[in-house]
């Protein structure tokens, strides 16, 4: 009789622990997490060497990352899921750069490798570009036409 009471207590306690654990995981947001999108931006097979990649997540947040001289970009902190992508690349010669010291002028912008992109790519809602972001690092080259 004593053995069956111990068995019932063990089953009850482990069962309760299982339910408790499941509730804790649900409350902790055992969700998909955040990811990083990285790759290269091209337009008509030519490297886009300046500008910004804009990522609009399904939850309404957006993150940005600069486009490097070699066309590479990285955007971090993106909620996992399907995202919309925009690419903004204004003419570097028209972008104003703040002066760093009182009478110091900023260096002249080099626009020699700049490519003018169609305006539709600047807004993630209108660009037609999407990707699926998973938790962790995601490689995604942006090939504009």
- 52 & 82 share domain: yes
> Residue 122 is encoded by which pair of tokens?
């600047």
CATH of the domain at 55: 2.60.40.10
Residue 10, pLDDT > 60, answer: no
- 63 & 101 share domain: yes
pTM for this model (two decimals): 0.71
Task: Give the structural domain span for 88.
Answer: 34-144
Number of domains in the chain: 2
Integer Cα distance of 35 and 90 in angstroms: 27
For residue 7, count other CB atoms closer than 10 A to its CB.
10
* Span 109-123, pLDDT tens digits: 566 789 999 999 999
- 3 & 72 share domain: no
- 119 & 64 share domain: yes
> Residue 74 is encoded by which pair of tokens?
């990285």
Helix count and strand count (H, E) for the chain? 2, 9
HSE-CB of 63 using CA atoms within 13 angstroms: 19
């Amino acid at each position: 009789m004593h053995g069956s009471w111990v068995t019932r207590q063990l089953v009850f306690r482990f069962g309760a622990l299982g339910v408790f654990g499941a509730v804790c995981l649900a409350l902790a947001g055992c969700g998909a997490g955040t990811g990083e999108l990285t790759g290269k931006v091209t337009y008509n097979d030519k490297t886009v060497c300046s500008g910004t990649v804009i990522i609009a997540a399904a939850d309404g947040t957006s993150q940005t990352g600069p486009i490097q001289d070699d066309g590479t970009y990285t955007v971090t902190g993106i909620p996992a899921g399907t995202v919309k992508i925009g690419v903004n690349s204004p003419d570097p010669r028209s972008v104003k750069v703040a002066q760093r010291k009182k009478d110091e002028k900023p260096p002249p912008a080099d626009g020699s490798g700049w490519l003018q992109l169609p305006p539709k790519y600047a807004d993630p809602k209108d660009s037609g570009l999407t990707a699926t972001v998973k938790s962790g690092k995601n490689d995604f080259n942006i090939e504009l036409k």
